[in-house]
Amino acid sequence: MPPTRHGASSQEETGFIGAVAAVKRHALLFFDYFTQYAKVRVSYRGDFFISLATSFAATIFGLGFVIILFQKATQLAGWRFEEVMFLYGFSLIPYGIFNIVSLNLYDFGNNFIIEGKFDRVLLRPVSSLFQVLFETFRIESLQEVATGIFCLWWASKRLGLAWTPGKFAMLFFFGTCAAIIYISIFLLLTTVCFWFEDRIGVHPPIWNVIAFGRYPLSIYSGVVQFFLCWIIPFGLASFYPSVRMLGRTVHPEYAPLVPVVALAFLTLAISLWNIGTRHYASTGS
């Protein structure tokens, strides 16, 4: 017998309340994870500040390359220095967010699969993916987010761009989508460890591709542009949102597809993660 309208309404209300409770629970868990890890990390001040300085030096080195590049040319494929700095700054924001939570993705094969720590994760009544992502943080990567914001501010001031509430909303939306794309791609690479045990993993060569997305895609060949948009979409995550916020016109215009690609890659990554966890058979030791 089909449920009455009142019964269906009650079920929907119960489901909504349950979803809100789950979101609240995980938000509190995330806060606890982050605060506890930050306390431990900052307690070793020497190590923390050395890591912070190293991370900041790498960011400055990348910016220095852009500055040196424009000492030799006034434009790059029709892009002014300030516009490239805007693109570079925007790309640093989702990249920094990704770096903050990606530490365990790099070490997953070694620490969780080969060393057997994933058994402990599966015993807890919390999503295994949530635990792996938010058990540890690369806190020093907050400087990348801060540097990206500074570059956006500096470039916007030089270009005369006004930051309206709509543009701030666009920055938040596209920045979130780009961070999801970064995390999803490396989560996909991490799931390989469920089938092929490898201490190093397949992350390093793909990690190097991120740098290509910090420059205008128009400087690359059509094959490279296709690769950076639809195979490893780091360029799609940073270039087209920057074009939209700068008010420039490019053809084709892929900015509306950024959230679609982010959702597609996230869905695929989570699906493969769930398949991998069912495939996992412990260390056997």
pTM: 0.89
Which band of pLDDT confidence, cut at 50, 70 and 90, is reported for residue 249? confident
241-246 CB contacts, 8 Å cutoff, 24+ apart = 241/90, 241/170, 241/174, 241/175, 241/177, 241/178, 242/86, 242/87, 242/90, 242/91, 244/170, 244/174, 245/86, 245/90, 245/161, 245/167, 245/170, 245/171, 245/174, 246/83, 246/86, 246/159, 246/161
pLDDT digits (tens, 9 = 90+) for 31-70: 988 998 888 888 888 888 898 899 999 999 989 988 888 8
Predicted confidence band at 8 (pLDDT cuts at 50, 70, 90)?
low
pLDDT per position as a tens digit, 176-226: 999 999 999 999 999 998 888 776 777 888 888 888 888 999 899 989 999
